[in-house]
Amino acid sequence: MLSRRELIGLGAAAGLASGCAPLAARLRHKAPLDAFALPAGPTEPAVRLFGRAGFGHRPGDLQAYAADGHEKTVERLLHADAPEDPTLIAQISRLEAFRMNADEMEDLHREEVVRQLQQGAFLRSVYGANPLKERMVDFWTNHFNIYGPKETCAWRKGSDEDHVIRENALGSFPKMLEMSARSPAMLAYLDNERNVSGHANENYARELMELHTLGVDGGYTQRDIQEVARCFTGWMVEERFLRRKGTFRFDPDRHDNGRKMVLGHVIPAGGGEADAQTVLAIVSRHPSTAKFLAKKLSLYFLGERHPRVEGEVAEAYGKTGGDIRAMLRPILFSPALLEGSPILKRPLDLVASALRALDASTDGSRPIQEHLNAMGQAACQWPMPDGYPVKPTAWSGSMLPRWNFAFALAEGRIRGTTLERADLSKSVQVEALLGKKPDAELLQAVERDGLGVALASPEFQWR
């Protein structure tokens, strides 16, 4: 949810944005023409960094990288303290899914809430002032995946994204893990509301160890799953009359207070709510968690396994107690980031990077969401707890809808999304898009058939 200070600070921007979303998009400050010019020297490192540590470069990013160098640029991305565009805040504030409590949204249709969640997540990926933070929000949203259309999850997902994921995206993993465990959206999605003494439901316990911490080969057993489930009995969502519905609640009457044994650790009887907190401490400190997260981060940012980098990431986790910035430094400073094999853009990467590079305007509404849906990556719509896949093979079947998006964007056929820089030549548009000078063949094709050719080209499909 937006803070009171953010809402008060919107001022005139919020008032102007309270009409139609396309108007709010047009109020954004457009990049000056000279920001589209390529800097002297190689641009591949900058394009690669902004494509991996964000959702692609924007006008001016390549020049800033050339002036500051890799190390200073990475540290700025890690710091992530740039103020957000007031117009972006205004657009997000108009969405009930991000500004209302779960119990206040009960009159809204589930599909409408999911649509707003998708719109808000997309706007932030395109216009967010801190690209690495937005990239990590995407990573953790999939790591702690919640399927929006399930039961009451949609009404609770906005709060989860803001307070569990966004507030901790570059902070402490153990803190985010505990907040996720208490998240009403997560408790509902993984059925922990049904986890009571004498009838333990193992769904959350299993995913906690398999997907959130230790990994499938992390050294736990089926008995560990059963014992962890017992520890989390009574962790549920408030639904009682005259109470704040939709918030976390621990019910001692539904908790199994017996003795438990988890991963070799004895949890004495009578611990109550602290039983589950002990479990979270055990799994967050386990060496398998450091290794599992190091592997996932390496695959996400580098596209393939790098044992040396993974070892450094796992070591950083252990030394800092799970500080996410410390874990990212070995990856972002690794030669593999700039010199390794390219990664096929997932649909969100493709769409967001196109709009960012061309300084496009979008309201993030249904028409552009339909393109993401056709490509297979609509936010909140992955039903399994493992999140959208990272491997390129998972997205190789989406080429036709990718091309359809490319030409629809170039030809102005996506309502609410426009390329407004008519003052740019086609050659400059292609250079801005690719971050390098195009070869003569591609430029001739663009001159003949339009910018959609460049958007659909192999050069732009990879990052």
The residue among 292, 401, 311, 419 whose CA lies nearest residue 355 is 419
pLDDT of residue 15: 39
CA–CA gap between residue 19 and residue 22 (Å, rounded): 9
Question: Six-digit token pair at 77?
Answer: 């991305």
Render 111-134 in DSSP notation, one character per residue: HHHHHHHHHHHHHHHHH-S-HHHH
**Cβ neighbours of residue 363 under 8 Å, at least 6 residues apart?**
20, 21, 22, 24, 25, 91, 119, 123, 416, 417
- Cross-strand bridge partners of residue 158: none
> What integer best gives the mean pLDDT of the chain?
93
Burial class from Cβ neighbours inside 10 Å (0-12, 13-18, 19+) for residue 226 reads middle
421, 358 contact by CB (below 8 A): yes
Report which residue type is found at 177: L
Q: At what angle do helices 131-143 and 287-302 cross, to 10 degrees?
A: 120
Question: What is the rounded distance in angstroms from the CA atom of residue 132 to the CA atom of residue 51?
Answer: 10
> How far apart (Å, rounded) are the C-alpha atoms in residues 441 and 438?
8
d(CA 353, CA 350): 5
Cα–Cα distance between 405 and 460 in angstroms, integer?
13
Question: Which amino acid does the sequence have at 42?
Answer: P
Cβ(421)–Cβ(433) below 8 Å:
no
Distances (CA, A) of 319 to 63, 286, 299, 326, 419: 35, 13, 22, 9, 47
Taking each continuous run of H as one helix and of E as one strand, the counts in the chain are: 27, 6
Residue 96 amino acid letter: E
Query: 86-111: per-residue pLDDT in tens?
Result: 989 999 999 999 988 888 887 899 99
pTM for this prediction:
0.93
8 Å CB contact between 382 and 150: no
Q: Please give the helix or strand (H or E) that residue 267 lies within, else none.
A: strand 265-267
Dist CA 62 CA 356 (whole Å): 13
Q: What is the pLDDT of residue 28?
A: 60
Q: Give the closest residue to 138 by CA, choosing from 390, 318, 428.
A: 390
pLDDT in tens, the chain (463 residues): 544 334 434 433 433 334 444 544 444 678 999 999 999 999 999 999 999 999 999 999 999 999 999 999 999 999 999 999 898 999 999 999 998 888 888 789 999 999 999 999 999 999 999 999 999 999 999 999 999 999 999 999 999 999 999 999 999 999 999 999 999 999 999 999 999 999 999 999 999 999 999 999 999 999 999 999 999 999 999 988 888 888 999 999 999 999 999 999 999 999 999 999 999 999 999 999 999 999 999 999 999 999 999 999 999 999 999 999 999 999 999 999 999 999 999 999 999 999 999 999 999 999 999 999 999 999 999 999 999 999 988 998 889 999 999 999 999 999 999 998 989 999 999 999 999 999 999 999 999 999 999 999 999 999 9
Whole-angstrom distance, CA of residue 367 vs CA of residue 413: 9
